[in-house]
Structure formats: structure tokens, C-alpha cells
Amino acid sequence: MLEGLRILVAEDDLLLAEVVVTALDKAGCEVIGPAPRLAKAIELAERSDLDVALLDINLNGETCYPAAWRLLERKVPFAFMTAYSPSYVPKPLGFVAVLAKPFDEGELLAMVARLARRDVPSALDVWSPGGQLPSDPRLPQSG
């Protein structure tokens, strides 16, 4: 069911990134990344052929929102992987699926399957191309 999916993983915690990559590899997915920094996540979001993406909200002190915007523009379904409470996600991004940390392999694979089926709210119903991502003052923003 997940075999062959191309999945962007953006995670700055190297141990967690390895756990995620290993689980996805075992399921037959092709992992793009992992991207531990925002600049790499943006590059991969813009240039890679992707089916799904998993983004840590805080990538070494920068929010992943610029990478999220690239994915929205490209119509790539994605989820945030985060230990932050749901109230931490800015309201305009409230429709994005969240995989709450800590999660187990089953929860990870279930989220990927859900994203691959596009069993998530449509980003394009919420934002139009050319819109701006909100900023979140609680995390440093990229410049």
C-alpha cells in the first residue's frame, strides 16, 4: 500500500529522523531527505518529485512554514510532526494534519497512508496560490 511512495522527511532530531526513515524504508517507501534544516527542506520541497511530506515544525530554530507553502503550491499532501500542542499551529494552517510526537511506527505509517489517499482536508480549499504563510511569533522566523 505504501510501497514506492516518495516521501519528504524534514526533521532536525537525527535519532528521530533515523527512526522515521527506517520505518518508511521497511514499508517500501522512497525517502527524500531527511532534511535537518529549513533551507534543505525548501530545496527538496521545490525540486523533488513527491507523493507525501512529513515536516517537523521547528527545524533547528526555524519554522517549516516556507517549505509547507512550497508543498501547498505543488499540491503535495503533508503533515506536521510535532510535540507542540495543536494550539501552537497558526490558525490558517489549522487544516494541516498533525502527527503528534512521540508517535510509534504504526501511527507514522497510518498517517502516511492517510496522506497518500489524500484523506486530509484540501489545502487549495483553504488558500489560493500566491497567498502568504502566516508567521508565528513564538518561533524564530527564517530570513
The answer on pLDDT for 66 being more than 80 is: yes
**Overall average pLDDT of the 121-128 stretch:** 52
Mean pLDDT score of the chain, rounded to an integer?
Answer: 86
Assess if residue 1 is contained within a domain: no
**What 3-state class would DSSP assign to 118?**
coil
Angstrom distances, CA of residue 48 to CA of 8, 23, 107, 129? 8, 21, 25, 19
Assess if residue 106 is contained within a domain: yes
Which runs of E-coded beta strand occur in the chain? 6-10, 30-35, 52-56, 58-59, 62-63, 78-82, 97-100
Cβ contacts of 100 within 8 Å, gap of 6 or more = 82, 83
Q: pLDDT (tens digit, 9 = 90+) per residue, 12-34?
A: 999 999 999 999 999 999 999 99
- pLDDT computed for residue 143 by the predictor: 38
**Overall average pLDDT of the 106-111 stretch:** 97
Top-confidence residue, 140 or 108 = 108
| Residue 85 pLDDT class (50, 70, 90 cuts) | confident
| Residue 121 pLDDT class (50, 70, 90 cuts) | low
Read off the CATH number of the domain in which 63 is found.
3.40.50.2300
Assess if residue 110 is contained within a domain: yes
Domain that holds residue 12: 6-120
Assess if residue 126 is contained within a domain: no
Dump the DSSP string for 48-86. Answer: S--SEEEEESEETTEESHHHHHHHHHTT--EEEEESS-G
> What pTM was computed for the model?
0.85
